Amino acid sequence: MGKIHDALQRAEEERAQRGGPPVGPTAPDLLEERSGSGQGLEGALRAGRRSRIVTAGSSAVAEEYRTLRARIQSIRRRRPLRTLVVTSARPGEGKTTTAVNLALSFGLDLGTNTCLIDADLRTPSVHRAFPQLPDAGLAEVLETDVKVDDALLQIPDTRLWVLPVKAMPSQPAELLGSRPMGELLEELSARFDTVIIDAPPVLGLPDAVTLVDQADAALLVVGAGEVARGDVMSALERLDRSKVIGSIFNRCESAQNQAYAGYYGRAD
């Protein structure tokens, strides 16, 4: 965990120096912004919204996500890894941006199939990146007789399918820990090579812990300047450490801190 420790130290220093969120370019949250007006993948982005979406281009940030994808693929050669939870200690650290872009990076690899699940049943955000979502979502699949195929959206020009949130259930924690949720993850992990789960933040809620317990692995997004080191350490203490394969140090501002951006794996 040495590199994660260094990254958290940098995040704490930035937060103390600035006293607030970073301003200006960030990495790896500096993403290509598109307005969906055409066909294919570009047309799949929501028109009129600032969609921080990585594309098939050669930007430095797109390459960061490809590097992250490659490192995850390297890890899965040593251990089972089909279901991956993306979470953070607190809201606003960029976990959904990371989950969406990582899923798209996998989805642009046309040799594999990827599914992105929005499992934040309290404040869902994945739907903001994509238009024309299905009439049903995760809660309907778990609580009613809606079939999962009726709730999945395939993103054009990719091998990525998205399972969004539509209805907001009254007991999200219980639903995420239910038998139908476990059965759904089993079904999707059998159908898809990679299942990425956008989970709620860890602190204050049981949801992320429940999802990590059911998944193969987890990534923790750390927002530079937006979270205290103690909060990140508290989040790590609540998660199954054997599942946490690394941390994303997100939104570092200066050129010096760019070296600390990206993925920090566990020291096994």
Q: Is the pLDDT at 35 greater than 60, yes or no?
A: no
Question: Is the separation of the CB atoms in 68 and 100 below 8 Å?
Answer: no
For residue 51, the tally of other CB atoms under 10 A from its CB is: 22
For residue 9, the tally of other CB atoms under 10 A from its CB is: 12
pLDDT, tens digit, 9 for 90 and up, residues 124-150: 999 888 877 788 999 999 999 999 999
Query: Which of the four pLDDT bands, split at 50, 70 and 90, describes residue 61?
Result: confident
Cross-strand pairs, 85? 197, 218
Range of the domain at 163: 2-265
Q: What's the whole-number average pLDDT of the chain?
A: 79
By three-state DSSP, how is residue 153 classified? strand
Identify the residue whose tokens are 């937006």: 226
Q: What are phi and psi of 153, to 5 degrees?
A: -115, 125
Average confidence (pLDDT) over 109-116: 92
Residue 205 neighbours by CB under 8 Å, 6+ apart: 122, 173
The CATH number for 200's domain is: 3.40.50.300
Domain count, the chain: 1
What is the C-alpha separation between 141 and 35, in angstroms, rounded?
Answer: 30
